[in-house]
Amino acid sequence: VYLGPVTTIPVVLFSGFFVNFNAIPGYLEWLTYLSYVRYGFEGAMVSVYGFGREKLHCSEAYCHFRTPSLFLKEMTMDKANFWVDAGALCAFFVFIRVISYLVLRFKLKMM
Protein backbone atom coordinates (compact mmCIF):
# COMPACT_ATOMS: atom_id res chain seq x y z
CA VAL A 1 0.00 0.00 0.00
CA TYR A 2 2.82 2.38 0.85
CA LEU A 3 5.07 1.44 -2.07
CA GLY A 4 2.52 2.29 -4.79
CA PRO A 5 2.27 6.06 -4.31
CA VAL A 6 5.98 6.39 -3.57
CA THR A 7 6.94 4.77 -6.88
CA THR A 8 4.15 6.39 -8.90
CA ILE A 9 5.20 9.98 -8.19
CA PRO A 10 8.64 9.79 -9.88
CA VAL A 11 7.25 7.71 -12.75
CA VAL A 12 4.62 10.35 -13.53
CA LEU A 13 6.98 13.26 -12.81
CA PHE A 14 9.56 12.05 -15.34
CA SER A 15 7.00 11.08 -17.99
CA GLY A 16 6.95 14.46 -19.74
CA PHE A 17 3.30 14.96 -18.87
CA PHE A 18 3.81 17.60 -16.17
CA VAL A 19 7.41 18.63 -16.81
CA ASN A 20 8.69 19.14 -20.35
CA PHE A 21 11.77 17.11 -21.26
CA ASN A 22 13.72 20.34 -21.85
CA ALA A 23 13.17 21.37 -18.23
CA ILE A 24 14.62 18.15 -16.79
CA PRO A 25 18.32 18.52 -15.93
CA GLY A 26 20.77 16.41 -17.90
CA TYR A 27 21.85 14.34 -14.92
CA LEU A 28 18.20 13.26 -14.35
CA GLU A 29 17.29 12.74 -18.00
CA TRP A 30 18.03 9.00 -17.85
CA LEU A 31 15.13 8.62 -15.40
CA THR A 32 12.66 9.51 -18.14
CA TYR A 33 13.50 6.28 -19.93
CA LEU A 34 12.46 4.27 -16.85
CA SER A 35 8.95 5.74 -16.89
CA TYR A 36 6.33 3.61 -18.62
CA VAL A 37 3.98 6.61 -18.53
CA ARG A 38 6.46 8.44 -20.78
CA TYR A 39 6.10 5.83 -23.51
CA GLY A 40 2.31 5.84 -23.27
CA PHE A 41 2.08 9.62 -23.35
CA GLU A 42 4.67 9.98 -26.11
CA GLY A 43 3.04 7.26 -28.20
CA ALA A 44 -0.37 8.90 -27.83
CA MET A 45 0.99 12.31 -28.86
CA VAL A 46 2.79 10.87 -31.88
CA SER A 47 -0.28 8.89 -32.94
CA VAL A 48 -2.49 11.99 -32.73
CA TYR A 49 -0.12 14.67 -34.04
CA GLY A 50 2.45 12.68 -35.99
CA PHE A 51 2.47 10.58 -39.16
CA GLY A 52 2.30 13.65 -41.43
CA ARG A 53 -0.99 14.96 -40.09
CA GLU A 54 -2.40 17.91 -42.00
CA LYS A 55 -2.69 21.39 -40.53
CA LEU A 56 -5.26 21.86 -37.81
CA HIS A 57 -8.34 24.03 -38.26
CA CYS A 58 -8.20 27.25 -36.28
CA SER A 59 -10.79 30.03 -36.29
CA GLU A 60 -8.49 32.59 -34.65
CA ALA A 61 -6.23 34.99 -36.57
CA TYR A 62 -3.11 33.48 -35.00
CA CYS A 63 -2.77 29.89 -33.87
CA HIS A 64 0.62 28.85 -32.59
CA PHE A 65 -0.08 25.13 -32.93
CA ARG A 66 -1.68 25.13 -36.36
CA THR A 67 0.88 22.60 -37.57
CA PRO A 68 1.00 19.37 -35.53
CA SER A 69 4.75 19.00 -36.10
CA LEU A 70 5.31 22.30 -34.25
CA PHE A 71 3.32 20.98 -31.31
CA LEU A 72 5.47 17.83 -31.18
CA LYS A 73 8.59 19.99 -31.37
CA GLU A 74 7.42 22.14 -28.44
CA MET A 75 6.76 18.99 -26.41
CA THR A 76 10.25 17.66 -27.33
CA MET A 77 8.65 14.70 -29.08
CA ASP A 78 9.53 15.56 -32.66
CA LYS A 79 12.06 12.71 -32.86
CA ALA A 80 9.84 10.18 -31.08
CA ASN A 81 9.01 6.90 -32.77
CA PHE A 82 5.57 5.37 -32.24
CA TRP A 83 6.78 1.80 -32.67
CA VAL A 84 9.60 2.24 -30.15
CA ASP A 85 7.04 3.53 -27.66
CA ALA A 86 4.70 0.61 -28.35
CA GLY A 87 7.57 -1.86 -28.00
CA ALA A 88 8.71 -0.28 -24.74
CA LEU A 89 5.19 -0.52 -23.33
CA CYS A 90 5.04 -4.20 -24.28
CA ALA A 91 8.44 -4.77 -22.66
CA PHE A 92 7.28 -3.04 -19.46
CA PHE A 93 4.15 -5.22 -19.49
CA VAL A 94 6.16 -8.43 -19.74
CA PHE A 95 8.73 -7.24 -17.18
CA ILE A 96 6.10 -6.32 -14.59
CA ARG A 97 4.29 -9.63 -15.14
CA VAL A 98 7.49 -11.64 -14.65
CA ILE A 99 8.46 -9.69 -11.53
CA SER A 100 4.94 -10.11 -10.12
CA TYR A 101 5.05 -13.85 -10.77
CA LEU A 102 8.45 -14.21 -9.09
CA VAL A 103 7.39 -12.19 -6.04
CA LEU A 104 4.16 -14.19 -5.72
CA ARG A 105 6.06 -17.45 -6.04
CA PHE A 106 8.56 -16.32 -3.40
CA LYS A 107 5.77 -15.28 -1.03
CA LEU A 108 3.99 -18.63 -1.45
CA LYS A 109 7.20 -20.54 -0.69
CA MET A 110 7.56 -18.57 2.53
CA MET A 111 4.17 -19.85 3.79
Domain extent at residue 25: 3-110
Per-residue pLDDT of the chain in tens (111 residues, 90 and over written 9): 688 888 899 899 999 888 888 899 999 999 999 999 999 999 999 999 999 899 988 888 888 888 999 999 999 999 999 999 999 999 999 999 999 999 999 999 998
Question: In this predicted structure, what is the pLDDT of residue 79?
Answer: 92
CA distances from 20 to 12, 29, 81, 101, 102 (A): 12, 11, 17, 35, 35
Question: In this predicted structure, what is the pLDDT of residue 44?
Answer: 96
Question: In this predicted structure, what is the pLDDT of residue 100?
Answer: 96
Q: How many CB atoms lie within 10 A of CB 60?
A: 7
Query: Measured between alpha carbons, how far is 42 from 77 in angstroms, rounded to an integer?
Result: 7
Secondary structure tally for the chain: helices H, strands E: 4, 0
Count how many domains the chain has: 1
Q: How many CB atoms lie within 10 A of CB 46?
A: 22
Question: In this predicted structure, what is the pLDDT of residue 65?
Answer: 86
Question: In this predicted structure, what is the pLDDT of residue 93?
Answer: 98
Question: In this predicted structure, what is the pLDDT of residue 46?
Answer: 96
Q: How many CB atoms lie within 10 A of CB 10?
A: 13
